[in-house]
Amino acid sequence: MFKFIFRLLRHIWSFIDGTRRVATNLVLLVVVALIVAAIVHPGPTVPSGGAALIVRPAGALVEQATFDPALSFFSNEQQRETPLPDLLEAIRAARVDTRIKLLVLETDDISEAGLAQLGELRAAIADFKAAGKPVLARGEHFSQGQYYLASIADEVHLSTDGFLLLQGLARFPTYFRGALDKLGIKMHLFRAGEYKSFGEPFTRRDMSEEDRAASRTLLNGLWSRIRNEISISRKLELKQFDRYVLNHLDMLKAAKGDPAATAKAAGLVDQLSTRNQWRARIKERLEDNSADKDFRHIDANAYLTSIRRDQPHHPAQIAVLVAQGSIVDGEQPPGNVGGDSFARLIREARENQQVKALVIRIDSPGGSAWASEVIRQELELTRNAGKPVIASMSSLAASGGYWIAAGADEIIAEPATLTGSIGVFGMFPEFSEPLGALGLSVDGVATAPLAGAFDPRRPLDPAAGEAMQLSIEHTYRQFLGIVAKARKMEPAAVDKIAQGRVWSGQEAVGLGLVDRMGGLDAALATAAGRAGLKDYSAVWPTQSVPPMRLLMKQIFAFADSGQPATASSPANAIAKRLAADFTSLALWNDPRHIYTHCLCEMP
């Protein structure tokens, strides 16, 4: 019997060892194949005779890629991301590249993008146009964000069966108080800031009047900017634009229910075209008289690979550190900002002799107050070490995102950036009622009044609640002091524009919370100027990834390339939004349970 078991275990081990050897050999073969392919085919090149640069963002527009393609095996839905800095770099280079004659923009695969990100990309395309090079844009259909981007083009095409949605801006949070009441769960909210509304969905059934007033003012300002920019780009009077938005049904009836014809009649698009007609039009603008049905072109990713081969390497560097996602204590993977992991990136950049300045690119609603302060202190140490620090705000740099920005020498934001939200809150759930309904009870002893006071199985002790509120107010005063010192203001003056209120980047400049308008290029130029650099290389440090994991990521990314982004159904969108609300709560791990987070992401 024992001999049989021993032989069985030996065979199992041989099988496992053999599988490991096969897997190792397969990975080695892939590495060799990649090396040989790189030698035989050095990479993409720009077609001769003048070519079109194809800009076709797919999935979510992000500051730094976070999704690992290897994980797609465990997901039913394809996830795609397009780093905004890559697109900006490609368009900036193509502007002065004589081999590129025009830019082709196709927006159908954009699923998520912040308004400020679209604005920054739009500005880069406008600079491309200013160099005398045409821009052509097309959509099978246009969502509001997609059209906002496409409207900067010289020619805007829409599919003959397409539609164009311009609906305005809205903010409708989901409120969970009714569901929590049915479950018997009490959510205790502690906050400092009249407009700090993050906890309200868990403690109210509707929007507070303070949140309603602030949201209306913010949305009206952002919408005014969108309608003005689109109207100027399309050479429309504002009343023409407003008619399409406010009286769309009447216009649709006049076009006999044809949404594409309605958009053209309103002057929002230039041509209704099929895909073949679109290709023919690009070929015509390129003056491409070849017999090929296709036209001379290169996509943005291939173009970047091509131009980066020839870029000179400068010993002086500016490190761009991306703070993207919620701010969480400790070590965190890409997609969230870990207090310890991000602080380590700052420290490594500070100690690197080649790095002469830092740009902190922020796209974050905030999170842990503790982690935010850990990061800000590292930025302060970097400035004290003589290395300039510039904060570059993307679509969202609020609450903890602004706390981080306060550690910079200078803050630069886009006009549509959402920022501010200087306020603090804490939440504590109580499950004593649902446990009691199940027949469960909690009893015991403690050596001090607050021992076990924050046990969610028991009713919250009033003394513990008062202690929590005092801690929240203390952290709020700390936040005010940090901002006051950084912005050279009095704490009382900061308090008047704080209170958890969200501001646009344009408004924040007037309030003294932001220094000036600009994008990532402006931040890099400012950092170079402060560091006295004429020539430099921009580097993008990221958390270290084990070599095998990195290799597998590249393999799966290669296999995944070229696949279309999966459209999301309305039901799926609702489910994802609800799941995101609760998933974000699971990440909260501030050691003091004090948070500075902004419930201000735009849908």
Among 407, 313, 422, 414, which Cα is nearest to 360's?
Answer: 407
Cβ neighbourhood burial of 452 (10 Å; 0-12, 13-18, 19+): middle
- Tell me the HSE value of 160 on the side-chain side, using a 13 A CA sphere: 6
* Residues 147, 139 contacting (CB under 8 angstroms): yes
Rounded-to-integer distance, Cα 465 and Cα 449, Å = 12
Cα–Cα–Cα angle for 516, 120, 156, nearest 5°? 140
Rounded-to-integer distance, Cα 350 and Cα 15, Å = 49
Cβ neighbourhood burial of 392 (10 Å; 0-12, 13-18, 19+): buried
Q: Locate all alpha helices (DSSP H) within 309-411, ordered by sequence.
A: 339-351, 369-384, 400-405
Rounded-to-integer distance, Cα 378 and Cα 358, Å = 12
- Rounded to 5 degrees, what are φ and ψ at 599? -90, 70
Contacts with 173 (C-beta within 8 Å, 6 or more apart), sequence order: 200, 201, 207, 599
The catalytic residue positions are 196, 399
> Would you state the structure tokens that stand for residue 559, as one six-digit string?
């296999």
Contacts with 483 (C-beta within 8 Å, 6 or more apart), sequence order: 402, 406, 422, 489, 494, 498, 513
- CA 330 to chain centroid, in Å, comes to 21
Contacts with 337 (C-beta within 8 Å, 6 or more apart), sequence order: 323, 324, 325, 326, 327, 328, 364, 367, 371, 375
To the nearest 10°, the Cα dihedral for 544, 546, 548, 551?
Answer: -10
